[in-house]
Structure 1
């Protein structure tokens, strides 16, 4: 069977970024929990709006393949930040099903890291710039 790495990268981009969009859309109506979490650790609450960059804008750019590497590193950093701020007590905790409590966040973060290192593949809006 012939390898089609570009198609695989497209599926990865759509899966990782597409699933994250649901989280971003859910946060459109209410950021109060995120604002409170930030102020508790001494971070200005206005930075809660950064969630729209990491969970809406970056995933959309990854899906269409525009400045994919830049968007995926922003997405990766957002997932690591979310894990450290919201789930730090669960990082090394095993769930009742035997997986890590933060495995979903890790899958998002590491998927974004893969996209950062590989680029978008040829099925993308833009592939000629260094951040594509």
Structure 2
């Protein structure tokens, strides 16, 4: 119990914490990405927000790429620092453009996701990742 409040990082515990965090945040993001992926490949006409004027198809495609493909990459810890950039961008657009007039209650979740992905950008994927395995192969 005396180590509970220490400020010295235990790298093994930090790496395990990053693994759990990657699995949790990207697993939860997949619940947003899978329905968009299904919508993207249906034969129905695409009806999706176009918050920055690039077209509904491009906007939905980018959201699918970020929320589905990049989430899987983050779970695997493969190209993590690059994979979180589209996720950060998507969450910034959701919070600061799409839900700007909806109030903080609707902005809170995308801002929370964005904060988590920024943490992964700066901290990296940790030891328990494909990034670590591939970059430290002898």
Give your verdict on TM over 0.5. Answer: yes
Point out the structure with max Rg over C-alpha: 2
Q: How far did 1:102 drift?
A: 1.5
Give 2:20's aligned residue. 11
Q: Structure 1 residue 64 and structure 2 residue 73: aligned?
A: no
Q: How far did 1:58 drift?
A: 0.6
CA deviations 1:88-122 (Å, max 9, x no partner) are: 212xx24xxxxx33211111110000000000000
Moved over 6 A (4+): none
Larger RCO of the pair (alpha carbons < 8 Å, separation 6+):
1
Give 1:101's aligned residue. 106
Q: How far did 1:82 drift?
A: 2.1
Out of 23, 26, 29, the residue aligned to residue 32 of structure 2 is 23
Out of 114, 117, 121, the residue aligned to residue 116 of structure 1 is 121
Q: How far did 1:26 drift?
A: 1.2
Q: Distance in 2 between matches of 1:58 and 1:25?
A: 12
Give 1:53's aligned residue. 65
With normalisation by structure 2, the TM-score equals 0.76
Q: How many residues align?
A: 119
With normalisation by structure 1, the TM-score equals 0.80
CA root-mean-square deviation: 2.1
Give 1:44's aligned residue. 55
Give 1:33's aligned residue. 47
For structure 2, list consecutive stretches of 5 or more residues without a partner in the other structure.
Answer: 4-8, 41-45
Confirm or deny: 8 A CA contact 2:18 2:125 kept in the other structure.
yes
Hey, which of these two has a bigger chunk of helix by percent? 2
Q: Structure 1 residue 79 and structure 2 residue 91: aligned?
A: yes
